[in-house]
Amino acid sequence: MKYFYLCVSIILSELYLILKLGRYNDDFDDGEDIAEFDDNDFAEFEDVSEDPAVDVEKEPPPRAAPSSTPIEDDEDEATVENEDGQDEFEDADDQDMYSKYDNEEFEGYEKTNPSFKNTLIYREVPAHLQNSWESYYMEILMVTGLLAYIMNYIIGKNKNSRLAQAWFNSHRELLESNFALVGDDGTSKEATSTGKLNQENEHIYNLWCSGRVCCEGMLIQLKFLKRQDLLNVLARMMRPACDQVQVKVTLNDEDMDTFVFAVGSRKAMARLQKEMQDLSEFCGDKPKSGAKYGVPESLSILSEMGEVTDGVMDNKMVHYLTSHAEKIESIHFSDQFSGPKVMQEEGQPLKLPETKKTLLFTFNVPGMGNTSPKDMDSLLPLMNMVIYSIDKVRKLRLNREGKQKADRNRARVEENFLKQTHTQRQEAAQTRREEKKRAEKERIMNEEDPDRQRRLEEAAQRREQKKLEKKQMKMKQIKVKAM
Amino acid sequence: MTANNMADPRRPSKIFRYKPPNTETNPTLEDPTPDYMNLLGMVFSMCGLMLKLKWCAWIAVYCSFISFANSRSSEDTKQMMSSFMLSISAVVMSYLQNPQPMSPPW
């Protein structure tokens, strides 16, 4: 009985093993068992509610394509094919799954499959290939800036031109009644009045008037602000400035006595005293307050001597200065006018600068930059003052004492100047002599023939000795004279 | 006649012609802005062309505009036009070589 039970158990276990192995093999087997496996594979996807008939119908058609290929393959490559087959089955599975979902269950449902989206990489399109103007915003900004500059140029130029014309229109009558020649650019053959301003710049206008008693000519410069330059306009927002009218009257020698005088705003006087050649030489004292002479405190006076100030500041002049104090920047009368100090290079012998008898007026146009053409009329009284000054200076003569003082001043300045130049000239001569000596020595050294060398050396020595003797003689003579 | 002469200050016989002031002896009277801007414009346009810097080329254009605005009427227009053309060519060349838009420095 025991043997029977043992045999039965062994047989049963073997059968069980065989069956298990067989099932494993069956999994990789294609062909006949597919239909069975289909049912098993899809068993888990089959829902109770679903119509099994539909599933069955769906499965065979997609099965037909992948199943045909594995059947034809050899048994040796069974595993590879099986795997392929299985992949195909899996794809087919997925297809079936989605088709099943799309049709039956998911209407309007967007299932996001993260595995697909993770693999997408968004590349940035280079800016210039994008069809958008927004990426070029810097360029648009630049071009806008340029357009703004051009607009400002046109507007500024026109404004300056209008102001100049307004000035000329208001002053034309006065000038034409005082000068034979009004407006000359110096290029025409005959001296005829052009009757218009000479434009030097977009912000500077000139007018030359000539042909009058007491003066050689008068140059009027309208120095407006650079309204045509946007940078300047922006700079003026930080630091306000105003338009200026500069009048320079050049006189003949007989038209003016010898004196130097200046009156103007305190700042301008301080600046001019440092800058101007003649004011720094002849008016060494600090600017005096104008209050002493009945003129507003804001004005200060630089003068060569008190007599000059008393002579210039008569009642009418004081009246002019008082009523137009804010428009007056500076008034400068000088017989030694040579312009601002010129910085000379060292070692250059200075020449006495050319001087000319000049009256220089600088007026500020009211409005501090925001000038309108109407403001130009307010400068007319100042032009009257200029004409009055020309006539006055002609009549102003220093007394004997004043004249002597003035002459002494001029002599002193000239002497100082010559002294300065003398030392410079001496130095220049000394350097020249040293260079000559060096050149000679070099020549002697370079001589190959020893005889000639000796002879040249002796000649040089003799020359030096002669020079020393001459100097000694001179010194002796001076000593004798002194004694 | 004499009464007229006394009243009328004009003297046609005493006319002097206008002589433009000699700026060589007085260099302080000249405004150096247009010359500096011209030079600066040329330097920037060369930088823009050689180093392919767009902002250099744009600054060169601005410099030549400023130089033109500040120039004297007696100055040669050829110089002005040449600096103008140089700066515009610098801008055009920078964009032809690299059409990408200019990036701001910040």
DSSP letter string, A412-445: HHHHHHHHHHHHHHHHHHHHHHHHHHHHHHHHHH
Give contacts of B66 with chain A, Cβ < 8 Å. Answer: 229, 231
Residue A2 banded pLDDT, cuts 50, 70, 90: low
Residues A294, A318 contacting (CB under 8 angstroms):
yes
Residue A138 and residue B103: Cβ atoms within 8 Å? Answer: yes
Q: What angle do CA A348, A350, A354 make, to 5 degrees?
A: 140
Question: How far does Cα A137 stand from its chain's mean position?
Answer: 22
Contacts of A324 (CB under 8 A, 6+ apart): A381, A382, A385
DSSP secondary structure of A367-405: TTT---GGGGGGGHHHHHHHHHHHHHHHH----HHHHHH
CB pairs under 8 A between A and B: 98
Residue B9 and residue A136: Cβ atoms within 8 Å? Answer: no
**Is pLDDT above 70 for A367?**
yes
Which residue of A lies nearest to B70 if distances are taken between CA atoms?
A229
| Assigned token pair, A471 | 């100097």
pLDDT recorded at residue A39: 56
Give contacts of A149 with chain B, Cβ < 8 Å. Answer: 62, 65, 69
Residue A178 and residue B10: Cβ atoms within 8 Å? Answer: yes
pLDDT recorded at residue A290: 87
Give contacts of B103 with chain A, Cβ < 8 Å. Answer: 138
Which residue of A lies nearest to B16 if distances are taken between CA atoms?
A210
Q: Can you tell me the mean pLDDT for A467-472?
A: 91
The beta-carbon neighbor of A149 closest among B65, B71, B72 is: B65
Q: A311-315, A334-338, A392-396, A447-451: which has the minimum mean pLDDT?
A: A447-451
> How far does the CA of residue B60 sit from the closest CA of chain A (Å)?
12
Residue A201 and residue B62: Cβ atoms within 8 Å? Answer: no
> Quick one: three-class SS letters along A144-186?
HHHHHHHHHHHHHHHHHHHHHHHHHHHHHHHHHHHCCEECCCC
Which residue of B lies nearest to A130 if distances are taken between CA atoms?
B100
Rounded to whole angstroms, the Cα distance separating A144 from A280 reads 50
The dihedrals phi and psi of A275, each to the nearest 5 degrees, come to -85, -45
For an interface test with A, the pick among B4, B8, B14 (most A C-beta atoms closer than 10 Å) comes out as B14
Residue A211 and residue B58: Cβ atoms within 8 Å? Answer: no
Q: What is the pLDDT of residues A255-275, one digit of tens each?
A: 899 999 999 999 999 999 999
Rounded to whole angstroms, the Cα distance separating A299 from A313 reads 13
Rounded to whole angstroms, the Cα distance separating A167 from A161 reads 10
pLDDT recorded at residue A160: 94
**Is pLDDT above 80 for B31?**
yes
Rounded to whole angstroms, the Cα distance separating A198 from A231 reads 25
pLDDT recorded at residue A83: 47
**Is pLDDT above 50 for A77?**
no
A50: left (phi over 0), alpha (psi -120 to 50) or beta: beta
Residue A453 banded pLDDT, cuts 50, 70, 90: confident
**Is pLDDT above 60 for B93?**
yes
- On average, the pLDDT of chain B sits at 85
DSSP secondary structure of A41-89: HTTTT--SSS-HHHHHHHSHHHHHHHHHHHHHS-STTHHHHHHHHHHHH
CA distances (Å), origin A170, targets A185, A362, B103: 21, 18, 54
Share of chain B above pLDDT 70, in %: 87
- On average, the pLDDT of chain A sits at 81
Give contacts of B87 with chain A, Cβ < 8 Å. Answer: none
Tokens 């002019």 identify what position?
Answer: A320
Residue A213 and residue B26: Cβ atoms within 8 Å? Answer: no
How many alpha carbons fall within 13 Å on the CB side of residue A274? Answer: 5
| Assigned token pair, A282 | 């002849």
Give contacts of B8 with chain A, Cβ < 8 Å. Answer: 177
**Is pLDDT above 90 for B58?**
yes
Could you tell me which residues are beta bridge partners of residue A300? A264, A289
> How far does the CA of residue A139 sit from the closest CA of chain B (Å)?
7
3-state secondary structure at position B15: coil
The beta-carbon neighbor of B28 closest among A142, A219, A340 is: A340
Residue A128 and residue B104: Cβ atoms within 8 Å? Answer: no
Tokens 């103008």 identify what position?
Answer: B84
CA nearest neighbour of A127 among B85, B30, B74, B103: B103
| Assigned token pair, B35 | 């010359």
> How far does the CA of residue B36 sit from the closest CA of chain A (Å)?
14
Rounded to the nearest 10 degrees, the angle between the axes of helix A60-72 and helix A34-41 is 130
**Is pLDDT above 90 for A50?**
no
Rounded to whole angstroms, the Cα distance separating B88 from A64 reads 72
Share of chain A above pLDDT 90, in %: 45
Residue type, position A64, single letter: A
- How many other C-beta atoms lie within 10 A of the C-beta of residue A441? 13
- The continuous run of DSSP H or E covering A279 comes out as helix A277-282
Q: What share of chain B is helix, strand, coil (3-state, %, to 5)?
A: 65, 0, 35
pLDDT recorded at residue A102: 54
pLDDT recorded at residue A18: 66
For an interface test with B, the pick among A144, A161, A201 (most B C-beta atoms closer than 10 Å) comes out as A201
Residue A229 and residue B69: Cβ atoms within 8 Å? Answer: yes
Residue B26 and residue A342: Cβ atoms within 8 Å? Answer: yes
**Is pLDDT above 70 for A297?**
yes
pLDDT recorded at residue B8: 86
CA distances (Å), origin A61, targets A50, A81, A91: 19, 20, 14
Domain boundary assignment for chain B: 12-97
Residue A334 banded pLDDT, cuts 50, 70, 90: very high
Give contacts of B101 with chain A, Cβ < 8 Å. Answer: 127-128, 135-139
Q: What is the pLDDT of residues B67-76, one digit of tens each?
A: 999 998 877 8
Which residue of A lies nearest to B29 if distances are taken between CA atoms?
A340
Nearest-10 Cα torsion for A169, A171, A177, A183:
-70
> How far does the CA of residue B87 sit from the closest CA of chain A (Å)?
13
Residue B15 and residue A181: Cβ atoms within 8 Å? Answer: yes
Rounded to whole angstroms, the Cα distance separating B54 from B87 reads 11
Rounded to whole angstroms, the Cα distance separating A270 from A268 reads 6
| Assigned token pair, A288 | 């005096």
Residue B69 and residue A208: Cβ atoms within 8 Å? Answer: no
Rounded to whole angstroms, the Cα distance separating A251 from A394 reads 9
Rounded to whole angstroms, the Cα distance separating A370 from A368 reads 6
The highest-confidence range among A59-73, A106-120, A201-215, A445-459, by mean pLDDT, is A201-215
Which residue of B lies nearest to A157 if distances are taken between CA atoms?
B69
CA nearest neighbour of A222 among A210, A202, A211, A206: A206
> How far does the CA of residue A214 sit from the closest CA of chain B (Å)?
9
- The continuous run of DSSP H or E covering A114 comes out as helix A114-117
pLDDT recorded at residue A60: 46
**Is pLDDT above 50 for A30?**
no
Give contacts of A217 with chain B, Cβ < 8 Å. Answer: 16, 18
**Is pLDDT above 90 for A38?**
no
The DSSP 8-state label assigned to residue A26 in this structure reads: H
Model confidence pTM above 0.80: no
Residue A84 banded pLDDT, cuts 50, 70, 90: very low
**Is pLDDT above 70 for B41?**
yes
Give contacts of A128 with chain B, Cβ < 8 Å. Answer: 99-101
For an interface test with A, the pick among B5, B15, B64, B66 (most A C-beta atoms closer than 10 Å) comes out as B15
Residue type, position B43, single letter: V
Residue A211 and residue B15: Cβ atoms within 8 Å? Answer: yes
- Its ipTM equals 0.91
Rounded to whole angstroms, the Cα distance separating A380 from B49 reads 54
Rounded to whole angstroms, the Cα distance separating A81 from A72 reads 10
Residue A239 banded pLDDT, cuts 50, 70, 90: very high
